[in-house]
Structure 1
Amino acid sequence: MELNNKELKNITNLARLDLEEKKEEKFFSDIACVVGYFEDLKNVDVSDVNPVTGGTYEINVFRNDNDMVRVETKEGAIIRSFPDNKEGLLKTPHIFDK
C-alpha cells in the first residue's frame, strides 16, 4: 500500500498534529518506513510456524472448583454467642453513635 500526500495530510489532521514543513517531510518519511515494514511482514512465509494462542504451556496447579472447602459450624453455638436475639435476628451492641 502506497501512501500519498493527501492520505498523510489526513493522518496529521486526525492526530491533530501541526507540523512545520521540515518536520512534515520527516513525519511522512517515517510513516512511509512503518507502512513499508508492514508490507514486508505480509510477505513473510509463516507456513511452517505453529499458531500460538497463549503465552505459556504451564498447567493449572490450583484445586478443582468442585473441591469445596467447608468449615462445619454449629448454628446454635453461634446464636448463643450473640448478646441478644430478637425475632430471629442477631442483635449486637451499637457500633455508631446515635
Structure 2
Amino acid sequence: MSIDKQTLEKIAHLARLEFDEKSEEKMLKDMNNMLSFVEKLKELDTDHVEPLQSMTFEMNQFREDKVQDQLDHQDGLKNAPNNDKDFFRVPKVIE
C-alpha cells in the first residue's frame, strides 16, 4: 500500500494542514515510509502474544469515594466577584 498525492491532499485537508510543493514531496515520502514500516510489522508472528492494555505493569491505586465536608451554598458564593444571591454572575459570551 502506498499514498499518492491525491490521498495526501485529502489527509492534509482533514487535518487542516497546509504545505508547499517541496514539503508535500517530503511528507509523501515520509508517510510512505511509515506505511512500509507498518507493512513490515505484519510479517511478525503474534499468535501467542497477549495484547497490551498499558505500556507499564503499574496498576492504578483507586480509593474509595467518601462524602466529606462540602461548601454550603452561601460559602460557595462568598468569594465570587459578582453574584445574584443564588447564582454566579458572569459576562455574556454568546450574542
Structure 1 length as normaliser, TM-score?
Answer: 0.48
**Structure number, greater radius of gyration:** 1
Q: 1 or 2 for the larger relative contact order (CA 8 Å, sep ≥6)?
A: 2
Structure 2 length as normaliser, TM-score?
Answer: 0.50
